[in-house]
Structure 1
């Protein structure tokens, strides 16, 4: 089961392209229900990491934190709770046994990994480049000097290597998904509890239209013409 499916199972997950790319996501509990927001203006690997990070807050009761980055490259590492959430996300997404297995499968020299190996591994596990660097150091594959060398690479430099090596990650940029808002709106409309105009208004939040949901536009009321009135009066 993917990280997004796990997160959506017991929480209302909102996917929205926030303008501020320093904000990766946040979680909040409202009236006993957990809400999580993922910033979809970020690259997909960062959305994956954000989902795992927020899952920590939901599971361990520390919701309400905004996952923010000073330089848009990685979330805050100064707050203790955020450190725990980041560590949880890294271990959840990059299992040590599986990571060592993949290093072996791709014939990488575990004692001398290079930038190409790290970029390929980050793409394989769909996690941010710097997350993979930290994870490799945590399990003892990257020595401290190599860790310090590779952690200094910026997102732009890592992306350049991805382009050079022809590796890619799934694309889910600027996705909008507001949990089951559309379904609830359609249910209310089908039960004649809201008007067509209200349905349009609610669906607009998710950048959807009634027509896209299989609902045809209702005809606006047209008063009868003078000729039609004359016919009616004669009957």
Structure 2
């Protein structure tokens, strides 16, 4: 097993500044959760989101997301492929992770967020995702305001558990990312980190799940659900329709592309016979066949 990558102070500060600058560029204050608005951010950046469930043989997906680029009419197009066979909170984190690669221009690749951070580039992307979604300055402020101290070593497990569940439901990070954030700012001890990190939060009978459902059943259930969604944004669907209406793609291509997102021309008022096209190229994209893996 490769050793765990530990970022140094300079690297962490560079990532913190990058996340702060990008939030400011997007008009998002540090105390405001991004949560489900991550999709809106992609639209602002002209990144096309492709959602598709890719299943693996084990319990966890083989990958969480992928980023790739292509060129059309001398214009570079950016795509993020999101594996919706993963839990929704990890989908949100995976998109933020890919935004690091987008902002730093590190090229096409596949992200496997279940892996240990034993790759420097991936460790940086994971730290950026956490800082972008939940800025350190906001977390520290919340802790000070609620507990009147920056250290939570003496806080009871039950109180700390409720606190982390509330953070998760407000900021939409995976539970273990919340635990890691608290450890990164030295708010909790190593023993607390190990104790809370090992909790199986996907077990709906666990204390964590019961608290989450009691606090905010709708959000907690959404975060802990594998959506298995097939689709892209309404904006990108509109582009596909207009390309057809302008004669840039024919009926077969129009039907084929919509079929990728589990839609038909009839959904938009067009009566077209759908041809039986091979979707292997689309599957290859999500399986990483055309990408260089880090």
TM-score normalised by the shorter chain: which range applies?
A: 0.7 to 0.9
- From the superposition, tell whether residues 108 and 129 of structure 1 become closer, same or farther in structure 2 (CA, over 3 Å): farther
Partner residue of 2:140? 100
Asked if residue 6 in structure 1 is aligned to residue 41 in structure 2, the reply is yes
What is the DSSP-based 3-state SS (H/G/I as helix, E as strand, rest coil) of the residue aligned with 2:206?
helix
Among residues 65, 68, 81, which one is paired with 2:121 in the alignment? 81
Bigger Rg over Cα: 1
Q: 1:191 aligns with which of 246, 254, 263?
A: 246
1:123 and 2:169 matched: yes
Q: For 1:51, which of 95, 112, 123 is the aligned residue?
A: 95
Alignment RMSD, CA only?
Answer: 2.8
Q: TM-score, normalised by structure 2?
A: 0.63
* TM-score, normalization by structure 1: 0.77
Q: Structure 1 residues 101, 64: closer, same or farther in 2, change over 3 A?
A: same
Structure 2 residue 135 is the aligned partner of structure 1 residue 91: no
Q: Secondary structure at the match of 1:177?
A: coil
CA separation of 1:25 and 1:159: change in aligned 2, threshold 3 A: farther
Could you tell me how far 1:157 is from its partner in structure 2? 4.6
Q: Answer yes or no: is 1:30 the counterpart of 2:70.
A: yes
Which residue does the alignment assign to 1:156?
202
* Cα distance, 1:146–1:187 mapped onto 2, change above 3 Å: same
**Worse overlay, 19-28 or 175-184:** 175-184
- Relative to structure 1, the CA distance from residue 218 to residue 201 in structure 2 (aligned partners, 3 Å threshold; closer, same or farther) is closer
How many residue pairs end up in the alignment?
A: 214
**Gaps in structure 1 of 5+ consecutive residues:** 220-235
Structure ranking higher on relative contact order (CA contacts 8 Å, 6+ apart): 2
Question: Which residue is 1:139 aligned to?
Answer: 185
Secondary structure (helix, strand or coil) at the match of 1:37 reads strand
Q: 1:41 aligned to 74, 77, 85, which one?
A: 85
1:57-92 per-residue CA deviation (whole Å, 9 max, x = no partner) reads 0000113221114xxxx3441111000000011111
The yes-or-no answer on 1:213 pairing with 2:249 is no
Structure 1 residue 128: Cα displacement? 0.5
Report the Cα distance in structure 1 between the residues aligned to 2:46 and 2:250, rounded to whole angstroms.
30
Unmatched segments (≥5 aa) in structure 2: 1-27, 29-36, 274-294
Q: Residue 174 of structure 1: CA displacement? A: 2.0
